Chain A
């Protein structure tokens, strides 16, 4: 157990819908990262927050957004869902904002029908 929690574990929804994925980092970690794992793209970085502020942005679609709250938990919002958004979404956390071990949560498996 990495100490990073993600909910829900599984999510099945329809095209065009909007969903919210939730992540709680390890105790004491200030940095939260979101990654997407799909069959065609592999594992790729989406976005990072550090102590409530956006720190880095990767290949995140405009339909996707995230935020980190004062209690340091984070939410990833996915809207206008398409079939291609079906993937495993991971949250990771670390103490520092750079060059630090990232610990991954169990992931949320999203299926868009």
Chain B
């Protein structure tokens, strides 16, 4: 099956800093989503982005499908951004999501 690798595994930031999270995948995809899992365990949809670029407030994401990677940008980070960020991909021809292991982000005040 498809492999999903996220980097870095852990990230510690000062409030106000910017960061870039990366997701590499091993095959062509028809679905790519970024999620934020908050400390209460809830998985929150950030982006559905199988290709192209999207922005939502301080967050933006870019997927370059031909080179099999996606990037999540967090600008002016806040303590509420802490949690685990997951990239999940749907392999072409399949409906289900394969998750990476996540990036654990801690934003300190």
Q: Which residues of A contact B (CB under 8 A)?
A: 2, 31, 33, 35, 42-45, 48, 50, 55-56, 58, 88, 90, 97-104, 106-107, 109
A107 CB, min distance to chain B CBs, angstroms: 6
Interface majority SS (helix, strand, loop, mixed), chain B: strand
Q: List 25 A-B contacts (CB under 8 A).
A: A43-B86, A43-B88, A43-B99, A44-B99, A45-B97, A45-B98, A48-B95, A50-B95, A55-B95, A56-B95, A56-B96, A88-B41, A90-B43, A98-B31, A99-B95, A100-B31, A101-B45, A101-B48, A102-B97, A103-B45, A104-B42, A104-B44, A104-B45, A107-B41, A107-B42
Tell me the nearest residue of chain A to B86, going by C-beta: A43
Residues of chain B at interface, number, CB under 8 A: 22
